[in-house]
């Protein structure tokens, strides 16, 4: 008879002064193992070590990597125990895990208040110096995206205020897309070009709108970082092979290419530019 192998111990918790310290130490300290939980109280960041990558499960992530895949879908749920322990540690700090990492959790009042602060901090960074090529700007946009999604789900007054904030018209996009992260990322890319004034009812493909004095670019989100960008003249989206207005669509494409977006090829009959938003790093 042989002894059964001893099961590996579960994840352990490690505390650090800063996310930079946490990142550095995970790269050399053999005491920090795959799946161990990382807690940085001062920065309100909680995450774990995914093989050689320290990742955060909170909206704030500092120098850690943002985990942009729901943790329960990562490697067939390999890190479920790590996420459960991380949630316990985050609750001690009165911060919540990002909603896609803890979709069934009911946050406390303090956790909701902290997420409001996250949203405000990120919004200040985004509007204060918009630069779609700046990794820190993109990271702030990512934080605001997840903070607002969390608040719309768990804070009824926030959800109502978000709906009420939709104005009758907006420039460069429909009002209903005013807070969409992919639209927000695209607007600085197209800064300097004329933005078309749109309402939620405007149909850029409907000939009945042909007499509307609507001219300029318009951006629509298509999900998962993809946007469709149009050029409108007299209310209608124009094709690339339109001799008068096709070059304007090419100018829209060139802006996205210069900003590092992945852009699908324009064909002669293309009516829009499909561009994929770069993902935040760090």
Low-confidence ranges of the chain (pLDDT < 70): 1-8, 127-132, 163-168, 208-212, 281-282
The overall pTM is greater than 0.95 = no
Q: Where are the alpha helices (DSSP H) in 129-216?
A: 135-154, 156-164, 181-189
pLDDT value at residue 32: 96
Sheet holding 45-50, edge to edge: 13-15, 37-40, 45-50, 53-56, 65-66
- The CA distance from 67 to 205, in Å, is 38
Tokens of 22: 């946490």
Tokens of 20: 């930079």
Query: DSSP code of 193?
Result: B
pLDDT value at residue 96: 94
Q: Which of 18, 11, 63, 16 is nearest to 33 (CA)?
A: 11
Residue 32 to residues 46, 54, 66, 74, 91, Cα–Cα distance (Å): 15, 10, 19, 20, 22
Residue 10, class by beta-carbon neighbours within 10 Å (0-12 exposed, 13-18 middle, 19+ buried)?
A: exposed
């Amino acid at each position: 008879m042989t002894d059964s192998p001893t099961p590996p111990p579960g994840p352990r918790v490690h505390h650090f002064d800063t996310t930079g310290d946490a990142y550095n130490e995970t790269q050399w300290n053999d005491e920090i193992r795959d799946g161990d939980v990382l807690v940085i109280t001062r920065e309100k960041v909680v995450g774990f070590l995914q093989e050689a990558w320290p990742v955060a499960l909170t909206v704030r992530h500092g120098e850690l990597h943002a985990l942009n895949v729901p943790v329960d879908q990562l490697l067939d749920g390999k890190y479920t125990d790590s996420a459960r322990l991380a949630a316990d540690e985050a609750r001690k700090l009165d911060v919540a895990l990002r909603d896609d990492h803890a979709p069934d959790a009911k946050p406390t009042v303090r956790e909701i208040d902290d997420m409001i602060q996250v949203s405000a901090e990120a919004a200040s960074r985004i509007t204060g110096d918009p630069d779609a090529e700046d990794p820190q700007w993109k990271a702030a946009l990512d934080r605001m995206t997840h903070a607002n999604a969390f608040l719309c789900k768990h804070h009824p007054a926030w959800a109502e205020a978000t709906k009420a904030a939709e104005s009758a018209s907006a420039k460069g996009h429909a009002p209903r897309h005013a807070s969409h992260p992919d639209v927000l990322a695209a607007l600085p890319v197209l800064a300097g070009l004329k933005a078309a004034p749109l309402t939620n009812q405007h149909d850029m493909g409907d000939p009945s709108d042909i007499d509307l004095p609507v001219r300029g670019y318009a951006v629509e989100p298509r999900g998962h970082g993809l946007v469709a960008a149009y050029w409108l003249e007299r209310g209608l989206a124009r094709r690339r092979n339109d001799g008068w207005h096709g070059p304007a669509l090419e100018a829209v494409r060139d802006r996205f290419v210069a900003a590092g977006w992945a852009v699908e090829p324009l064909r002669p009959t293309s009516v829009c530019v499909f561009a994929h938003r770069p993902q935040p790093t760090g």
